[in-house]
Amino acid sequence: MAFHRAVEDLLRDVTEKAILPYYQQLAAHQVEDKGGNDPVTVADKLSEEMLIDGLAKIIPGLPVVGEEGSHADPSIMDHLAGDCWIVDPIDGTRNFAHGKPPFGILLAMASGGETHTGWIYDCLSQRLCIAHKGKGAFVNGEKITARETGEEQPVAAISLIFMDQGRREAVRQHILPHYRLVDVPYCAAEQYPRLVLGTNDVSLFERTMAWDHAAGALFVNEAGGKVARPDGSPYRVDQWALPGLIGAASPTLFDAMAEQLAGL
């Protein structure tokens, strides 16, 4: 379809013109801290500008909720309740700013608070994950089904960074011992594919901003895994202020984590 080709071409064009020229080439003055050790680079800003311009040509008039634009103007978040694009111009900025992978572009389309299409583009490997609600998940054009690692102790990447101290300690004592822990990639554009590709079994997120999770949650769910709130309710992009999200390679793994969290 011309629409999907246009989006894919845009992701690649932005990568080549706005992101990769700055990879491992950033000067100190080209990296800022938005607060709370949350960096933004000149490449993030340029990428978002190019994405907004390109998306306006694909569907004129459709609002764009971008991470950087929303930081500057929080009222942009109001568009999440309607029809909109959702953009993370460089997901994994912390890694990118330090000149290392992983990092990528996250793009989604939502309507009425629900994501219906998502793209996850790895800028270095050119891996493209796409999901369409009700139509499945695809990696580089091939339909894919999520698979567990098969390890006796499930493999988990659990982010504690945004939890308050009490919850962090409770998770450490009562949740972590049940899993084989691996490093968190600090990049949802990598963490969600790992749940589908048989690398990780479970992920636990505290902060649930739309640009971080809209595309990835849909991708895992369409592949047959499960991403939802700990109580099992679906993730909605217009409920970004609510904490807590579980991602799992299968509904069984999701249920096991949700049961343990309910006991905290």
Helix, strand, coil percent content, the chain, rounded in steps of 5: 40, 25, 35
Check residue 167 and give its pLDDT: 83
d(CA 48, CA 50): 5
Q: Is 255 annotated as a binding residue?
A: no
Check residue 8 and give its pLDDT: 98
Residue 161 lies in a domain: yes
- Final residue in a domain of this structure, among 144, 176, 194: 144
Check residue 160 and give its pLDDT: 81
Per-residue pLDDT of the chain (264 residues; tens, 9 = 90+): 799 999 999 999 999 999 999 999 999 999 998 876 789 999 999 999 999 999 999 999 999 999 999 999 999 999 999 999 999 999 999 999 999 999 999 999 999 999 999 999 999 999 999 999 999 999 999 999 999 999 999 999 988 888 888 888 878 888 889 999 999 999 999 999 999 999 999 999 999 999 999 999 999 999 999 999 999 999 999 998 999 999 999 999 999 999 999 877
Residues 212 and 160 in one domain: yes
Q: How many domains does the chain have?
A: 2
β-strand partners of 147: 197
The CATH number for 229's domain is 3.40.190.80
Residue 50 lies in a domain: yes
DSSP string, 95-162: HHHTT-S--EEEEEEEETTEEEEEEEEETTT--EEEEETTTEEEETTEEE--B----SS-EEEE--TT
For helices 2-14 and 42-58, what crossing angle results, to 10°? Answer: 160
Residues 95 and 10 in one domain: yes
Residue carrying the six token digits 């978040």: 77
Three-class secondary structure of residue 209 per DSSP: coil
d(CA 237, CA 55): 19
Residues 44 and 115 in one domain: yes
Check residue 38 and give its pLDDT: 82
d(CA 148, CA 123): 25
- Residues 6 or more apart in contact with residue 194 via CB below 8 angstroms: 157, 185, 200, 203
Q: Is 152 annotated as a binding residue?
A: no
Paired sense of beta strands 84-91 and 104-111, if any:
antiparallel
DSSP string, 9-63: HHHHHHIIIIIGGGTTT--GGGEEE-SSS-EEEHHHHHHHHHHHHHHHHHSTT--
Residue 90 lies in domain = 2-144
Q: Is 67 annotated as a binding residue?
A: yes
Biggest CA pair distance of the chain: 51
The CATH number for 102's domain is 3.30.540.10
Q: Is 91 annotated as a binding residue?
A: yes
Residues 134 and 218 in one domain: no
Residue 243 lies in a domain: yes
Q: Token pair for residue 150? A: 């098969």
Q: Is 58 annotated as a binding residue?
A: no
Check residue 184 and give its pLDDT: 92
Residue 187 lies in a domain: yes
- Closest CA relative to residue 144, chosen from 40, 219, 92, 88: 219
Residue 225 lies in a domain: yes
Please name the amino acid found at residue 151. E
Residue 86 lies in a domain: yes
Residue 150 lies in a domain: no
Residue 149 lies in a domain: no
